[in-house]
Amino acid sequence: MIIMKEFNNNRYIVTAALPYANGPIHIGHLAGVYLPADIFVRFLRRKKKDVIFICGSDEHGAPISIQAKKEKTTPNKIVNKYHYMIKNCFIDFKIIFDNYSRTSSKIHHKISSNFFKKLYDNKKIFEKESYQFYDKKYSQFLADRYIMGICPICRNKYAYGDQCENCGSTLSPEDLVNPKSTISKNPIYLKKTKNWYLPFNKYQDFLKEWILVKNKINWKKNVYRQSKSWLDNGLKERAITRDLDWGIPIPIYNENKKVLYVWFEAPIGYISSTIEWAHKKNVDWKNYWKNNNTKLIQFIGKDNIVFHSIIFPAILKAYNKNYILPHKIFSNEFLKLENKKISTSKKWAVWAHEYIQDFPNKQDSLRYVLISNMPEKKDNNFNWKNFQRKNNTELVATLGNFINRSIVLVNKYNKGIIPSPGLFSFNDKYVLEKIKKCPIHIENLLKSFKFKESIDIFMDLSKVGNKYITEEEPWKNNKKKIRLNTIIYVSMQIVAMLAQLSELFIPDTSNKMLKILRLKLLFWNQIKNRFNIICPGHLLGKKKLLFNKIKNKEIEYQLNKLK
Ligand SMILES: [Zn+2]
């Protein structure tokens, strides 16, 4: 097990990938990026670390510009719609950032322009002319994805300029027979243009040392492997500007319609979002981004690995202003839906905002299922039947049932007051030991970024509780009062520990449980290695239902919706 080194560090920047504001977010985004980031940040806060959780919408680039042209609207209207929709979804799912910014903000434009300007002034970038495919009708240069034609290898009519999805060949637009624009469907032309390039090959040695030597053991295997494969192929120069009318104009006089390439400016969004936060809080952002004692932990999607492990660090290195580099880049594999790849364009997804409409106040059910199915080591699958089963058997029949049984016992036999225990039996001691060990197990797993296993440890504790009550049979008449009190005391210690631990995974439920128990949320060191979290004499609050069963017809509705 790789436990994160130097965990005693006290300052962290945790970033979550900037969602692209051309559509809503779905369960794949939540399971892949935002839930692991959220759990990790919650854990750091409970450990009393100085942590800022940074994100924002990524609002530039050709896809948004093209979508606007197709829908005869403006890019601004599109990004406004999705920025607020996405932002609200995060709030609904209790993924609370310290700052959720947007790359169309003034501050981001300013910071990104400064990056470009300094690279330009210091001759770290160069200009070069080239011929690129152009769509006359839409007056737009086309990225490879927007070019379609016949695959020269398998004759598939719908091969893209970068890849044929039928035979899997990697292609260039020049390879296609009869290449056409996917936007206007018209034939395309080569047109001369000029762009600015960053010579990434100049940073090859630096990145090799940094990734292959320094970070080899620290990074997740998928991140390491992809980065290494890029380095093995040799880094090349890449354009950092685009011919587009939507984006951050390059700060060079007389260069119209040239903007910064999204993958140049979007990662700078982590920095500008932090600066925006620091201005609001009146703190110095440099204490985070330019302080070698800060650990930068980035949670991203698998399709964005090299942009974070190679492109962004190379830009920071070229800019050379003492920015820290990512300490850890975390990426999950993909989540499938009903065994098929989630696809925004094919509308094969469960959208977060629609889930909330269909299952109001059941955010924790989805959080729970997504965390316990998290695609950590391999692609994993979400299916609605399994969602229903996990909700009904694990949340309702195990966790909810155990808590309910325990509280009923306190109310029935001790007027809602936690009783003093007598002597502990062998079984009591075994259970109390389990409670003590739980936060230690979870801590070790979270330090090695194992979220799925950590929620299993949590759920196992409620299974231990259910089993304990069933074995001890407190409702049997022949129990002496002192023995009954001891059983109730032990069960309530499990309940109290579950209330404390659940905050990491299912925060709404944790909140409800803490209210029922009339307890405050404790810091991690206050629950670590302890079993006596709720004291004898403590009076409970009002009982409340924690989970509801999900009915067959609700699941059928969702399955029909997919069709
Ligand atoms: Zn093909």
pLDDT digit string, tens, across residues 180-209: 999 899 999 899 999 999 999 999 999 999
* Structure tokens that stand for 184 in this block: 């206007």
Q: Above 60 in pLDDT, residue 19?
A: yes
Q: Mean of the pLDDT values across residues 545-561?
A: 97
Distance 159 CA to ligand 1 centre (A): 6
Distance 563 CA to ligand 1 centre (A): 28
* Structure tokens that stand for 439 in this block: 């936060």
Of 191, 196, 63, 61, the C-alpha closest to 133 is 191
Q: Above 60 in pLDDT, residue 6?
A: no
Distance 163 CA to ligand 1 centre (A): 8
DSSP 372-417: HT--SSS-EEE-HHHHHHIIIIIIIIIIIHHHHHHHHHHHHHHTTB
Q: Mean of the pLDDT values across residues 243-271?
A: 91
Distance 262 CA to ligand 1 centre (A): 29
pLDDT digit string, tens, across residues 102-114: 999 999 999 999 9
Distance 149 CA to ligand 1 centre (A): 10
* pLDDT at site 478: 82
pLDDT digit string, tens, across residues 113-164: 999 999 999 999 999 999 999 999 888 888 888 899 999 999 999 999 988 8
Distance 187 CA to ligand 1 centre (A): 20
Q: Is residue 245 very low, low, confident or very high in pLDDT (cuts 50, 70, 90)?
A: confident
pLDDT digit string, tens, across residues 360-409: 999 999 999 999 999 999 999 999 999 999 999 999 999 999 999 999 99
Distance 338 CA to ligand 1 centre (A): 27
Distance 157 CA to ligand 1 centre (A): 8
**Global confidence as pTM:** 0.94
What does the mean pLDDT of the chain come to? 94
Burial 172-208 (b: 16+ CB within 10 A, else e): ebebbeebbbbbbeeebeeeebebbbbbbeebbeebb
* pLDDT at site 2: 46
Please measure the distance between the N-terminal and C-terminal CA atoms of the chain and give it in whole angstroms.
Answer: 42
Distance 239 CA to ligand 1 centre (A): 27
Taking ligand 1, which is a single-atom ion, which protein residues have CB atoms under 5 Å away? 151, 153-154, 156, 164, 166-167
pLDDT digit string, tens, across residues 277-317: 999 999 999 999 999 999 999 999 998 999 999 999 999 99
Q: 26 with 349: CB under 8 angstroms?
A: yes
* pLDDT at site 217: 78
Q: 42 with 503: CB under 8 angstroms?
A: yes
Q: Above 70 in pLDDT, residue 3?
A: no
Integer CA distances (angstroms), 151 to 158, 176, 185, 219, 348, in order? 7, 6, 16, 37, 26
Distance 537 CA to ligand 1 centre (A): 73
Distance 323 CA to ligand 1 centre (A): 43
DSSP 294-312: EEEEEEE-GGGHHIIIIIH
Distance 148 CA to ligand 1 centre (A): 12
Q: Above 70 in pLDDT, residue 174?
A: yes
Distance 176 CA to ligand 1 centre (A): 10
Q: 493 with 531: CB under 8 angstroms?
A: yes
Percentage of the residues of the chain whose pLDDT score is greater than 90: 85
Distance 236 CA to ligand 1 centre (A): 26
Distance 181 CA to ligand 1 centre (A): 18
Integer CA distances (angstroms), 121 to 112, 152, 315, 316, in order? 14, 44, 15, 15
Distance 547 CA to ligand 1 centre (A): 50
Q: 33 with 16: CB under 8 angstroms?
A: yes
Q: Report the side by side order of strands in the sheet with 126-135.
A: 140-141, 126-135, 189-199, 237-239
Q: Above 80 in pLDDT, residue 26?
A: yes
* pLDDT at site 145: 82
Classify strands 50-57 and 99-102 as parallel, antiparallel or unpaired.
Answer: parallel
Q: Is residue 321 very low, low, confident or very high in pLDDT (cuts 50, 70, 90)?
A: confident
Residue in the block written with tokens 């942009």: 307
Of 362, 399, 346, 333, the C-alpha closest to 555 is 362
Distance 301 CA to ligand 1 centre (A): 27
Distance 167 CA to ligand 1 centre (A): 4
Distance 383 CA to ligand 1 centre (A): 31
